[in-house]
Amino acid sequence: GENVEQHPSTLSVQEGDSAVIKCTYSDSASNYFPWYKQELGKRPQLIIDIRSNVGEKKDQRIAVTLNKTAKHFSLHITETQPEDSAVYFCAAITGNQFYFGTGTSLTVIP
Amino acid sequence: DTEVTQTPKHLVMGMTNKKSLKCEQHMGHRAMYWYKQKAKKPPELMFVYSYEKLSINESVPSRFSPECPNSSLLNLHLHALQPEDSALYLCASSHPRVSNEQFFGPGTRLTVL
């Protein structure tokens, strides 16, 4: 089955700086890669996603890049704000089954 | 309606109790999922229903019993749980023929005493 690795497990940045979270996957059949943000006690919320036929996608301060050959994808958050503090999960999807990364706890220091 | 709803929000039960978690969506999604999530860990898939049929059971103990009465509802029946089953139980739904995106409910925080 699919194996998704996510790094780093914790990340602290100063407000206004950029944050980058990286994931790798193993199954070349995976074709959809969402990123979820989860605040304490709340549900995971989809913040951006990318499909395997696209290399990069941007939505305001958030961007995702995908390298299919290397089987890795990354989340980039620019101009970070304290409200960006949360746990972020990447995932790789094969069929209708999600494989989540282990999560990154992001803290944005004001 | 673009939300997945779950009830109850919180549940405390003893190891001999029987209880049920409920999940509902009215987005016409035909796949529904149960996940278990421990603090600061990723959601762990438990069950997948596709077109009201159980398609994936990730070796979940029989003290968890899923039920999909119709395309909008998903239940998780709980019986003889253990304290280590305490977790956030998340329901999600998707429309497999339209998009891979899964929509998560707010979860039920379960505590087993």
How far, in Å, CA of A54 to CA of A37, rounded? 21
**pLDDT for res B1:** 63
Neighbouring C-alpha atoms within 13 Å toward the C-beta of A66:
23
| B74, B94 Cβ separation under 8 angstroms | no
Task: Write out residues in chain B with pLDDT < 50, as ranges.
Answer: none
Q: What share of chain A is helix, strand, coil (3-state, %, to 5)?
A: 5, 55, 40
Confidence of residue A60 (pLDDT cuts 50, 70, 90): very high
Burial of B53 (0-12, 13-18, 19+ CB in 10 A): exposed
Q: Is A44 on the interface with B (CB under 8 A)?
A: yes
How far, in Å, CA of A9 to CA of B45, rounded? 21
Report the residue of A42, A53, A98 to disrupt the B interface, i.e. the one with the largest count of B CBs within 10 Å.
Answer: A98
- Check B101 against A46: CB less than 8 A apart: yes
Confidence of residue A23 (pLDDT cuts 50, 70, 90): very high
Token output for A11:
């990340």
Confidence of residue A97 (pLDDT cuts 50, 70, 90): confident
Q: Is A32 on the interface with B (CB under 8 A)?
A: yes
